[in-house]
Chain A
Amino acid sequence: MASSYDYDEPSYDNRSYPPSSQVSDVAYDPNFVPDSVKTFVVHLYRHIREKNVYEIHQMYEGSFQRLSERMFRENPWPSVEAVAPYVDNDHVFCLLYREMWFRHVYARLSPTGRQRIESWDNYCSLFGVVLHGVVNMQLPNQWLWDMVDEFVYQFQSYCQYRAKLKNKTEEELQLLRQYDQAWNVYGVLNYLQALVEKSMIHQILEREKEGLEQFTATDGYDYEGGSNVLKMLGYYSMIGLLRVHCLLGDYRTGLKCLAPIDISQQGVYTIVIGSHISTIYHYGFANMMLRRYVEAIREFNKILLYILKYKQYHQKSPQYDQILKKNEQMYALLAICLSLCPQTKLVEENVSTQLKDKYSEKMLKMQRYDDEAYAVYDELFSYACPKFITPSAPVLEEPLTNYNQDAYRLQLKLFLYEVKQQQLLAGVRSFLKLYSTISIGKLATYMEVDEPTLRTILMTYKHKMHAVDSDGKIIPNADVDFYIDEDIIHVVESKSAKRYGDYFLRQILKFEEMISELDRVKLD
């Protein structure tokens, strides 16, 4: 890796450089461009012009982070006006530079109201250029994903910022009034939608299925001299739309936006780990809210296993903290799903062990139906849910109130309502497990309810344990199933279906791996 950016390696050596505290002692001048930044932009600009994706990626993921870490911990990067002369005043490069500039401000400093609005303007210009097809760059997927992801993040962040009206200064309020189109929800959605449409990504994925086009095989890159920018922004915008709709509480529409991507398989969305995690986190969450627990459990299990295996390779990545956070959140969501629908067989051993370490006590509590159980559902949901937003414009009249929690409270309330409707199901499930047949009367006595009530509980169980998919098809989710013949409940033992086939497959692969490893040892 090091050899690829030898040109600025000397100045990258942390040990020979003054510690950052000394740097920030110097009065900050936004127009001063240190030599290392000069080198950085000049090289990045050159690599972009030469479509050298590999080098761009190294500089984007490596150099930019390192320079930020070393020189811009407490201050923003030099202004775009100051660096423009070093890159021929290239319009598109300047837009890209500013996009990174703002991203850095959001990540390390706290953006002012004006900066938030300027960042919105910059996205408008950048997407405008991309949408009007004058871009012929080839950028790394990581960067393109980050753009979409950051765009949605800044939108969400703006909605939160805007909703905290109480402590706003007069100047900030003035800005909100003046720039009411900044981060407007229609604008955000329409940009993402326009990227999806203009990129023809739906058609590309369709044509790929018929073997008429390559997309997944080239990781979305264009090796015939074209640009991957619009295409990949369109692709990632589908995931961006899923996320925005989840933030709005519109789970069905979110899933619909993602539908062109087949998440049952590896695909372009899995190349960048941030994109992979964001996709599955939101997909799983939306399915949980739609009561499709089995689907949510299955996907959470897969991604958690993936993270468990591969997180070590991302330790140095700037996304590492984010990976760990989403990892924890998804364990919480998995705990919720399994408490409502104990399909533990769907969870792989290693994931299951992790889950037990983290949540076995809480999951035990969630099986009960008292206030403490609710408190745990409440706690886990609040910890793991997306940062819901209120998309409408603020009412800027006295008295100013904060409404940044409203959206979250509504989703939480409705979720807990669902939990309440299912509160007796854990009890009935534990009895059903003990019998192959039992009369309604007897079970009613055990559960201390009357017979008609028990019948409603049993029907609720059936209703809640059957999800409806987007085509209206009924999907069974129950781990323990039964049917009633007049007054007798017949419990259907869920056969412990050992997945021999899968097991053998994995063992064959493992064995093969070991053999080839042994072969290598001999050669040494």
Chain B
Amino acid sequence: MVRERESQQQQVSYTVEQLVAVNPYNPDILTDLENYVNEQVSSQTYSLDANLCLLRLYQFEPERMSIPIVVRILIKALMAMPAPDFNLCLFLIPEQVQMEEQFKTLIVLSHYLETARFRQFWDEAGKNRSVLEVVPGFEQAIQAYAIHVLSLTYQKVPRPVLAEAINIEGLSLDKFLEYQVANSGWALEKGHGRSQLIVLPRNEYNHPELKKNTVDSIPFEHVTRIFPILS
């Protein structure tokens, strides 16, 4: 899951990235950055640094702020979960702007995701389709996040728990599972009750014994300190 998100982040056009790198504090690139937000939305790419740069320019010159652009940035940031991007953006947006209805909704959505309350999240998202549909790939991104949290937590997850987290049920869920079994190393098992169990791929978070034990390793620089004594 994590890797998929990374590749989403890397597919960015270099021109605007370079623009940001060379002019991190230049108000003249504001329009370019706004266009770039729209481009990220339509091409399903993502650049947090470019977006933070734009929010920074808005912070310096609040009168130039475009609310629809900020909304898009925040939706993209939600899609970048589990990274803390949404908060990073909020830190830069003045409080009175955050009081506006659209932002309040997004903040509530973020809160549900941060506290893994997926059912409430999908309910609330359903009520706000018009805002979220503007950004393609939203659902898939959140599902990816849900699966990420599940695979941090579970070795084997009951089907209803998975269904609720990714908001897919019945036949669609069967199809989804079939795909994951074929492509992502998932497996299906019978659970204790009637319920189906999904075995998630092993990782060091749900199989903590896989964690490399680096606790008692000593950095080489530390050892060098006793060289003079040993010699």
Contacts and interface: CB of A to CB of B under 8 A. Distances in A.
A508 B216 CA distance: 17
Contact of A460 (B25, B116, B216): B116
B129 interface: no
Contacts of B91: 249-251, 289, 410-411, 414
A458 B206 CA distance: 12
Nearest to B229: A512
A484 B153 contact: yes
A421 B115 contact: yes
Contact of B84 (A291, A462, A471, A509): A291
Most buried by A among B27, B154, B164: B154
A497 interface: yes
Interface stretch (A23-31, A186-194, A313-321, A336-344): A186-194
B211 A189 contact: no
Given A472-B2, A485-B154, A459 B25 contact: no
A472 B59 contact: no
A466 B82 contact: yes
A391 interface: yes
Nearest to B90: A414
A189 B24 CA distance: 9
Contact of B25 (A190, A413, A463, A485): A190
B150 A459 contact: yes
A310 to B, nearest CB: 18
A501 B59 contact: no
Interface string A404-428: 0010011101100110010000000
Interface string A470-500: 0111101000010111110000100101111
Interface in B66-124: 82-84, 87-88, 90-92, 94-95, 111, 114-119
A178 interface: no
A472 B83 contact: yes
B155 A485 contact: yes
B149 interface: yes
B153 A485 contact: no
A185 interface: yes
A515 B5 CA distance: 57
A429 B114 CA distance: 18
Contacts of B218: 501-502, 505
A413 B197 CA distance: 41
B52 A252 contact: yes
A411 B153 CA distance: 30
A508 B164 CA distance: 57
A492 B25 contact: no
B141 to A, nearest CB: 14
B84 A456 contact: no
A265 interface: yes
A205 interface: no
A487 B52 CA distance: 41
B82 A185 contact: no
B195 to A, nearest CB: 9
Interface in B203-225: 204-209, 211, 215-218, 221-223, 225
A460 B207 contact: no
A500 B218 CA distance: 10
A75 interface: no
A290 B153 contact: no
A248 B27 contact: no
A245 to B, nearest CB: 9
B60 A391 contact: yes
A456 B117 CA distance: 6
A466 B152 CA distance: 9
B62 interface: yes
A382 interface: no
Contacts of A509: 225-226, 229
A252 B31 CA distance: 22
Interface of A: 185-186, 189-190, 193, 248-253, 256, 265, 289-291, 391-392, 406, 409-411, 413-414, 417-418, 421, 452, 455-460, 462-464, 466, 468, 471-474, 476, 481, 483-487, 492, 495, 497-502, 505, 508-509, 512
The 5 lowest CB-CB distance pairs between A and B, nearest first, are A459-B116, A249-B91, A497-B215, A189-B25, A462-B152
Given A463-B149, A497-B216, A505-B218, 11 more contacts: A250-B88, A253-B53, A253-B56, A392-B61, A457-B116, A472-B6, A485-B154, A486-B156, A495-B215, A500-B216, A505-B223
29 contacts: A189-B25, A248-B59, A249-B91, A249-B92, A250-B88, A250-B92, A252-B48, A265-B221, A392-B60, A406-B95, A411-B91, A456-B115, A457-B116, A466-B82, A466-B152, A472-B5, A473-B2, A483-B155, A484-B153, A484-B157, A485-B154, A485-B156, A498-B216, A499-B215, A501-B216, A501-B218, A502-B222, A505-B223, A508-B226
